[in-house]
Chains A and B, each alone.
Chain A
Amino acid sequence: MQASPPSLLSAAWIIARKDLAVELRTRSAFLSVLVFTLLGLATFYFAWDPTVVSAADLAPGVLWVTFTFAGLLGLHRSFGMEAQDRAIDALLVAPVEREAIYLGKGLANFVFVGMVLCAAVPALVLFYNLPPGPAFAALGPIALLAAIGLVSVGTLFSSMAVNTRLAELLLPMLSLPFFVPIVMASSQASTRLLAGRPLAEAMPWIKILVAFDLVFVVACTVAFPYTLEE
């Protein structure tokens, strides 16, 4: 039987499935990132005086800051596990385009942080006493946009950081300045929506998120092949 090389998207899907299968069988990273996130949400509550700042005002900022730091933990794993035993070499010799490796890794990371958010948002609603309906309606779409932006930049930097002498220490330094617009836009948009302000007030921030996602998904896909060995 003659096998032809898979197309860009199906190759990406195969790589994403491989990463998710590894994660599903070990569950090591997911559980530790999940616990980190829940701990972050709980610890932040005690960092402010709840009689001065209401929990509902704190909640969005706490969620997005915790989410970006938790995301870093998961993102490092993405290429960190390929560095072990030079597993990346097998991906490089596979008859797939290099962009497919990026998209596959990105997709797996997106599912990973998406799962974390699926647990983090209900936990936030519980801990910070948010009204569940409006909270899910406001945070859900913003979480989607924020996760795409975080994963697009983070996947690329994860691939770069593992090849440096500092490895996981470098990833936050490279990524966090890029996460600043994501944290700001997500927090500002969700604070307004949670406070029951009209959608038009949150729109400028949501537009920044959408533009960030578009620009960096494209730019990082194009830039990714340069981060691999030639």
Chain B
Amino acid sequence: MTSPNSHSKPRVMDGVMLAALAAVAGATVRILMFTPYEAIQGPAQKIYYIHVPAAMSAYLALAVVAVMSIVYLWLHDERSDRLAESAAEVSFMFTTVVLITGPLWAKPIWNTWWSWDARLNLTLFLWFVTAAYLVLRGAIEQDAMRARYSAVLGVLAALLVPFIHLSVYLFRTMHPMPIVLKPSAPSLPREMLTTFLAATLAFLFFCVALIRARYRLAPLLRKSEGGGNG
């Protein structure tokens, strides 16, 4: 194992990343070839196996941002800021995947690309907040100030999520309700459930691998951008 502080160049394509890519590829093959069509929705339903795991990965990465922001304000450890930054970029990517796959599914099923539905709004505004977080980071040159400001935004954004959720939920909802993560037993046929769980695990693994790779690349990126005072 090379530590991030050693002088050897960190590699993106290491064992962890290759295993994560293999897991995502395996899950995709299972989704396409070895999972039956849903009776009513047909092939369109298969996007569910990408959409929901991507959403869960985005939430996982956002949780990392929130926790690492609190840790930074508390301990002022530069590593927690770097981890928050990495997780924010990865979360932005997964949220984008969610926002693209959602309308692709909604067009044949809801007969509209977009609906001002509770969950869509929450995801859209999370995407805006993450974008603002990344722009804020890019607009500050001093390392310590960038870390403090983005940690403040990270904590406030975590406080904002329940308010957006509550207000958009009150507004209205027509999004399908969870069918796996719900109080009663999952109502998905066994084969579909296996595919869903495999895809979820693969995506979460991929998410962690991406955050890890981005975290290890951070010192190099900072050097190449010529930043790094303060």
Chain B residues with CB under 8 Å of chain A are 73, 125, 128-129, 131-132, 135-136, 139-141, 145, 148-149, 151-153, 155-157, 159-160, 163-164, 166-168, 170-171
**Which residues of B sit under 8 angstroms from A211, Cβ to Cβ?**
163
Let me know if A219 and B159 touch, CB within 8 A.
yes
Q: How far is the CB of B24 from chain A (nearest CB, A)?
A: 30
Residue A7, interface by CB 8 Å: no
Q: Beyond the given A153-B156, A177-B129, A184-B171, could you list 5 further A-B residue pairs with CB under 8 A, ordered by the A residue number?
A: A163-B140, A164-B139, A177-B157, A205-B167, A215-B159
- Chain B: which residue is nearest A160 at the CB level? B149
Let me know if A227 and B125 touch, CB within 8 A.
no
B interface secondary structure, majority: helix
* Known contacts A204-B170, A215-B159, A216-B159; is-contact A173 B135 (Cβ 8 Å): yes
For chain A, give the interface size range. 20 to 34
Let me know if B135 and A220 touch, CB within 8 A.
no
The 3 closest A-B pairs by CB, nearest first: A164-B139, A181-B163, A166-B139
**Which residues of B sit under 8 angstroms from A174, Cβ to Cβ?**
132, 136, 153
Let me know if B132 and A165 touch, CB within 8 A.
no
A211 to B155, CA, bound (A): 17
Let me know if B140 and A165 touch, CB within 8 A.
yes
Q: How far is the CB of B142 from chain A (nearest CB, A)?
A: 9
Let me know if A170 and B139 touch, CB within 8 A.
yes
Let me know if A177 and B140 touch, CB within 8 A.
no
Q: How far is the CB of A101 from chain B (nearest CB, A)?
A: 15
Q: How far is the CB of A18 from chain B (nearest CB, A)?
A: 25
Interface readout for A207-230 with B: 1 if CB under 8 Å, 0 if not?
010011001100110010011010
- Chain B: which residue is nearest A166 at the CB level? B139
**Which residues of B sit under 8 angstroms from A229, Cβ to Cβ?**
145
**Which residues of B sit under 8 angstroms from A160, Cβ to Cβ?**
136, 149, 152-153
Let me know if A220 and B163 touch, CB within 8 A.
no
Tell me which of B73, B156, B164 contacts A181 (CB under 8 A): B164
**Which residues of A sit under 8 angstroms from B153, Cβ to Cβ?**
160, 174
A interface secondary structure, majority: helix
Let me know if B166 and A208 touch, CB within 8 A.
yes
A223 to B149, CA, bound (A): 10
A220 to B152, CA, bound (A): 9
* Known contacts A177-B128, A180-B167, A208-B167; is-contact A165 B139 (Cβ 8 Å): yes
Q: Which of A174, A176, A205 has the most CB of B within 10 A?
A: A174
* Known contacts A164-B136, A170-B139; is-contact A223 B170 (Cβ 8 Å): no
19 of the cross-chain contacts (CB-CB < 8 Å) are A164-B139, A164-B140, A174-B132, A176-B128, A177-B125, A178-B156, A181-B163, A188-B170, A205-B170, A208-B167, A208-B170, A211-B163, A219-B156, A223-B73, A223-B156, A226-B73, A226-B148, A226-B152, A227-B149
Residue A120, interface by CB 8 Å: no
A184 to B163, CA, bound (A): 11
Let me know if A180 and B145 touch, CB within 8 A.
no
A178 to B132, CA, bound (A): 11
Let me know if B139 and A223 touch, CB within 8 A.
no
- Chain A: which residue is nearest B147 at the CB level? A226
Let me know if A180 and B152 touch, CB within 8 A.
no
Q: How far is the CB of A154 from chain B (nearest CB, A)?
A: 12
- Chain B: which residue is nearest A220 at the CB level? B156
* Residues of A167-221 contacting chain B, CB below 8 A: 170, 173-174, 176-178, 180-181, 184-185, 188, 204-205, 208, 211-212, 215-216, 219-220
- Chain A: which residue is nearest B146 at the CB level? A164
**Which residues of A sit under 8 angstroms from B135, Cβ to Cβ?**
166, 170, 173
A67 to B139, CA, bound (A): 27
Q: How far is the CB of A227 from chain B (nearest CB, A)?
A: 6
- Chain A: which residue is nearest B139 at the CB level? A164
Let me know if A188 and B145 touch, CB within 8 A.
no
A205 to B168, CA, bound (A): 11
A178 to B140, CA, bound (A): 21
A72 to B178, CA, bound (A): 38
Let me know if B140 and A219 touch, CB within 8 A.
no
Q: How far is the CB of A13 from chain B (nearest CB, A)?
A: 25
Q: Which of B131, B135, B163 has the most CB of A within 10 A?
A: B163
Q: How far is the CB of B191 from chain A (nearest CB, A)?
A: 40
